[in-house]
Structure 1
Amino acid sequence: MDQGSNNEIKVFKYRWIALIIFCLCTIVNFMQFLQFSIISNVITKYYDIDSSLVDLTGLIFFVVYIILFLPVSYLIEKFNLKVTAVVSTGFTLAGTVVKLFCSDPSRFYIVLIGQGLCAVGQVYLLSIPSKFASVWFGADQVSTACAIAVLGTQLGAAIGSILPPFLVEHDQDSESIGDAIHQMAIYNVILACVVFIVVVVFFKAKPQLPPSQSQLQLLTCSEDQSSFFSNCKTLFKNRDFLLVLQIFGIFNGLWNSFGILVNNIYINYFPEGQTDIGIITLLAIIAGGCIGSVVFGFVLDQTHEFKKTSIAVLLSSSISFIIMIFTLSMKYRIATYFTIPLFGFFIASSLVLGFEYALEVTYPIPESTSCSVLNATIFVFSIIATLAIEGLIDAIGYLYTFVIILVVFILSTINLYFISPNLRRRNANLNSQEMHPSDDII
């Protein structure tokens, strides 16, 4: 291997180890996201607070991201992926340590401080899945790698949904609930500490050579790249990108709000269903965030049919949402074990589609910039949707609220038609087909 060649590209087997480590970072961080809202009824009773404050334990992740994504995106472009991973896991570890002291019923504010620190760590993690995939993986694996990177976020949220209902049971006395919350915090600290050490010792910033032509072109013209804020201005003049923001922002924003409110929604139809909803949320996140994301990421790598794949996934999300509404309204408890995960399979998969679509229509803008703006848009919609859904449920009830959500889904899907077929990143790779990696992709 001639490391002195300026035009050489190569993929390294270590990329899979780097991907596993990155997934561990996201898993331990996203475990914190829903762990309190998924047991909202218990937390409300134990801390003697309003349910809206419990919702804030999840919403704080959205708020922190919206506040910090611009400076963090700038720092990600200024420093390398290892610095990003160390800082992120460091904030996650700090947040879990703080939550060791939240088991007293008068210390709910400690919960919010701990969640806030974890949220800062999440800003870094959410801004780099596509950048990580592009830095380490070849053109024919980048969408799959991005899907697997996102899988870690979904798997973490899934674990954070299934454990709390079993560790913190609703029929326990106050002292037992406090002990269970403390036990949950100890598990979080241990996992966060292990992952932090793994990142510091084993994680590498980048490969010795770029893995694709698009990455090689970015490296060779890096000295001519515009500033971060100039790139942001360019993004907001890109019509296709604005459509991607609107479409995938709404779908993923509504999915995020569903994750925060799912305990209240499910308990409304099945009052004794706290344990059920933990299992169902786990299944929904695994179906969509883990299985669906990888499946549709692979489809994109093989076909590069972004518009057709997106239409199919978003239409299927709407159809499965109708089926889910029906089973909830008819109170078919067993059926919800299938219909809610089916809805999750499609709508959670749209996150990967959004990331990859954003990169295709904005190349050669740095990946972390376009993905950070998309994430911020998703979280703005998440906050709006959470507050709006709560208000609509109080005003017109669950069923009519679901109908309004369905209409929003359909209108957003129609907007896919107006995105142009110009896939800039794909074209950059096709225009340099004569240059290939020097080893087989494994």
Structure 2
Amino acid sequence: MLGVAVGFVLPPMLVRASGTIPEIAADLRLMFYLIAGFTSVLFVFILLFFKAAPPSPPSAAADMGNSLDSNFLLSLKKLITNRNYVLLLISYGLNVGTFYAISTLLNQVILTYYPGANVDAGRIGLVIVVAGMAGSVVCGLILDKTHRFKETTLSVYAASVVGMLIFTFTLDCGYISVVYLSSILLGFFMTGYLPVGFEFASEVTYPEPEGTTSGILNAVVQIFGIVTTLLYEWMLGTVGDRWANLTLCALLAFGTAITAAIRSDLRRQAAQNTTKQ
């Protein structure tokens, strides 16, 4: 998420908003070379230092899960027939798809009310993600203390709806500082939801491999992100940002209702408690 945050800030600083096509092309080329160089260094570090697994399992439940035979196709069949997991796929996809749509078209939305505020648009994106990083930590602490995965997931999801509504109705207030504040609230809950959803998925699908569970979750999210972004872009050009944002609010409200329908079947916690006994 820190990388996403940097991705909001650097492009407006590196690429000139007003300039000739050759100048913008040169700026983009420099930015792409920097990204290629940085990710190449990361690739080398991963080859040299990244381990396949920790020296010991992080929990007794994980240890027991690792001892089970893993068959990808069988695991996939179990996951797609797991009612709770399918509902979580949909609700998670709606939330993250909404985040992708906003982050992709944030510059266009901000410039509608604050012309020339390209750098501010990048900083608002930074604020959304950094607030979400703080939300992730807070939600993680809550999960560690309470182990109430469904309640936490549902609360954060509902708060995302509220944050989106506030963001929608403060865009045209005329004070970009207010937009910064509403973005903090939106990011804290919407981006903070991301790790909570992953943890909840691991709970309701145990003992299926978490790599498969999270992989499918990520794949479905990309599909939702593409569809939601295209819908948002079309609505921005057709009916304006107010109705486009209200549509995203409706999607989040629908996702909240789906989350409420997920049963709190905490299989990983049950396995952990059984192993301790």
TM-score (norm 2): 0.94
Question: Residues 322-337 of structure 1 correspond to what in structure 2 (within 5 A)?
Answer: 322-337=165-180
- The alignment status of 1:366 with 2:213, answered yes or no, reads no
- The match for 2:86 among 242, 259, 264 is 242
CA distance in structure 2 between the aligned counterparts of 1:285 and 1:269, rounded to whole angstroms? 22
Q: Please give the secondary structure, in 2, of the residue aligned with 1:361.
A: helix
Question: Equivalents in 2 of 1:204, 1:240: separation in Å?
Answer: 32
User: What do the CA deviations read for 1:392-434 (whole angstroms, capped 9, x no partner)?
Assistant: 2233222122222212222221222222122001111111115
Q: CA deviation at 1:208?
A: 3.5
State the partner residue of 1:282: 126
Match of 1:268 in 2: 112
Kindly provide the amino acid, as one letter, of the partner of residue 209 in structure 2.
Answer: P
CA separation in 1, counterparts of 2:234 and 2:27? 32
CA contact (8 A) 2:198 2:214 kept: yes
Whole-Å Cα distance in 2 between the matches of residues 204 and 406 of structure 1? 41
Partner of 1:217: 64
Per the alignment, residue 146 of structure 2 pairs with: 303
Hey, what's the Cα distance between the residues in 1 that align with 2:162 and 2:225?
21
Partner deviation per Cα, 1:349-385 (whole Å, 9 max, x = no partner): 1111111111100001111111122112212211111
Indicate the SS of the match to 2:188: helix
Paired residue for 1:292? Answer: 135
2:39 maps to 1:192: yes
1:422-433 correspondence runs (5 A)? 422-433=265-276
Contact 1:246-1:412 at 8 Å conserved across structures: yes
Identity of aligned residues (%): 33
CA distance in 2 between partners of 1:378 and 1:208 (Å): 31
Structure 1 residue aligned with 2:76: 232
Number of the residue aligned with 2:6: 159
Give the one of 100, 103, 115 matched to 1:259: 103
Give secondary structure in 1 for the equivalent of 2:208: coil
Q: C-alpha distance in 2, partners of 1:340/1:320?
A: 8
Q: Could you give the per-residue CA deviations for residues 310-336 of structure 1, whole angstroms, max 9, x where no partner exists?
A: 122111111111111111132322211
- For the aligned residues, what is the CA RMSD? 1.6
Q: Which residue identity is paired with 1:315?
A: A
Q: Deviations over 1:198-220 (max 9, x none)?
A: 22222222234323211221232
Correspondence for 1:416: 259
How far is the alpha carbon of 1:179 from its aligned partner?
3.0
Please list the CA deviations of residues 261-303 of structure 1 after superposition, one character each: whole Å capped at 9, or x if unmatched. 1111111222211111011101111111x21112212211221
Trace 1:395-406 onto structure 2 (pairs within 5 A). 395-406=238-249
Corresponding residue to 1:383 among 195, 201, 226: 226
Q: In 2, distance between residues paired with 1:181 and 1:268?
A: 24
Q: Which amino acid aligns with 2:261?
A: F
- Contact preservation (8 Å) 2:65, 2:208: no
The 5-angstrom pairing of residues 128-143 of structure 1 reads none
CA–CA separation in structure 2 for the residues paired with 1:203 and 1:248: 29
For structure 1, the residue ranges without an aligned partner over 5 or more in a row are 1-153, 435-442
Evaluate the alpha carbon distance shift between residue 370 and residue 337 of structure 1 in structure 2; reply closer, same or farther with a 3 A threshold.
same
- How many pairs align? 277
* More displaced 10-residue stretch of structure 1: 305-314 or 207-216: 207-216
Q: Structure 1 residue runs of 4+, over 6 Å off? A: none
Please say if residues 99 and 191 of structure 2, whose CA atoms lie closer than 8 Å, have aligned partners that are also in contact.
Answer: yes
For the residue of structure 2 that corresponds to 1:313, the secondary structure is helix
Is 2:23 the counterpart of 1:176? yes
Give the AA of the match of 1:347.
M
Deviations 1:210-242, CA, capped at 9 Å, x for gaps: 2321122123223xx3x2122111111111111
TM-score between the two structures when normalised by the length of structure 1: 0.60
Of the two structures, which has the highest relative contact order with CA contacts closer than 8 Å and spacing of 6 or more? Answer: 2
1:331 aligns to what SS in structure 2? coil
CA distance in 2, matches of 1:391, 1:182: 29
**Cα-to-partner distance string for 1:15-42 (whole Å, 9 max, x where unaligned):** xxxxxxxxxxxxxxxxxxxxxxxxxxxx
Counterparts in 2 of 1:189 and 1:393: CA distance versus 1, 3 Å: closer
Change in CA separation of 1:325 and 1:219 when aligned onto 2, cut-off 3 Å: closer
